[in-house]
Amino acid sequence: MLRLTIPLKRALNVLPRTERTQACRYSTLNAFWCHGQAGLAAIQHPRACLIKEGRRTFSTRSNVESSGTSTAEQGHNTTRTVSTLDPSKLTPNDYQDFSGLCQPNIRIATATRGKCERLQLVYDKDQYRYYPFPPSARGFLYFHRPPGTPALTSQIRFRLVPEPDPALFDEGKDLVTSDGIPWGVLLPAVLVRTTFHRLAELVLREGHISPEEEAEIRSIVGDRTAIDTGTELLWNITDPFYLHFRRKYCWMRVRHRGKIETIGFRTKQTMSSGTALVRFEVVWREAPVTVLKAKGPPPPPSPRVAIRILKFTAPPEGADVGKQREGELLCVVDETGTATTAVSLRQPTFPEACWEELLERYPLHPSRVYPCIPRGYVGRWPVGVE
């Protein structure tokens, strides 16, 4: 039934308005008559039904693939237990097998008895379906916080290990998404979302963050219970972040004056594939040529924000290959596929404090002065030499 709903809607859109209304009434009654409430729901809410159907499809596929005779395969679809997030305290019982699953269930072994919220992990999703964990998703969940970094940007990550042996933890690598980005559950999401209540208890019980750090995170995030587990969250506007070129808009959250601010911008006419680790930089744009030729002293360069490509985590594909290069500014690509001018963002895109931090990090210097290009762009290469 679900395979017929989307083509049916597309076919109805071609009909005139009167005939379309009659056809919709007929299709709704026919769906209810043939398939009951499920068929009616598929007509009225096709997107939600596709997501539910995707869960059942991947769950069934995982059941079939894991129906072997070995002990590991027999326990593939059971609820998994996590006793610790400390790599030094891991046991073979903490070994997890998420391969082929869309939303594996886990429980916290040290949680108090009684009503326990269901805890599910998601590898990746879009507006239509959930995507399963890759076949190599076997290993240990652990708390990830590099030394010297703020607790706000900490994550629960998954270390890939071929066997249930904690001694192999240091030899493994972290699970990454299809974009080459380390998979993880952001700590603010763990603390504020009710579905991660038991996981938050374990984080606090093991002392991965202090009570003061917990209070700071809760005061910054507030009641954002809808914060996504994989949201790009920056402690400082100068920190590197991941840019997905297949998306029309880039959204991120940054700490600003004790709270979270959302920043969004478009990256049109750059690329449509690949993912890169980038950062914001201030470039200083020369005055237009007409102003420079006028009598009197020339005006000082004006600051604009550009994007520096540090490293590709997922390389561009097809016609996008070679358009952008690591170490250079993100450029606008014309109709011929040639990178011409650098992408520059205006000051109103950023909160005032973030703008001040960028100016302090990248002050005026000859190596940061770029030629003026019409329509607010800046040249690809700086005017001065460092």
**Is 54 part of any domain?**
no
**Is 320 part of any domain?**
yes
The model's pTM is: 0.70
From start to end of 145-246, where are the E strands?
A: 155-160, 173-174, 184-186, 233-234, 241-244
User: Per-residue pLDDT averaged across 254-278, rounded?
Assistant: 81
Q: Is a pLDDT exceeding 70 seen at residue 190? A: yes
Sheet containing 233-234, strands listed edge to edge, beginning at the edge strand earlier in sequence = 233-234, 249-256, 259-266
**187 and 218 both lie in a single domain:** yes
Nearest CA among 44, 63, 33 for reference residue 2:
44
**Is 20 part of any domain?**
no
Which residue among 201, 230, 259 closes a domain? 230
**Domain boundaries, position 256:** 246-385
Most confident of 136-145, 270-279, 340-349: 136-145
Residues 146, 174: Cα–Cα separation, whole Å: 13
**225 and 258 both lie in a single domain:** no
**Is 8 part of any domain?**
no
**116 and 221 both lie in a single domain:** yes
**107 and 211 both lie in a single domain:** yes
Better-predicted residue by pLDDT, 48 or 325: 325
Q: How many domains does the chain have?
A: 2
Better-predicted residue by pLDDT, 259 or 358: 358
**Is 6 part of any domain?**
no
In this structure, the number of other CB atoms found within 10 A of the CB of residue 141 comes to 25
**Is 237 part of any domain?**
no
What's residue 206's pLDDT?
94
What's residue 383's pLDDT?
78
Q: Is a pLDDT exceeding 80 seen at residue 377? A: no
**Is 359 part of any domain?**
yes
Better-predicted residue by pLDDT, 1 or 197: 197
**Is 380 part of any domain?**
yes
**199 and 117 both lie in a single domain:** yes
**297 and 203 both lie in a single domain:** no
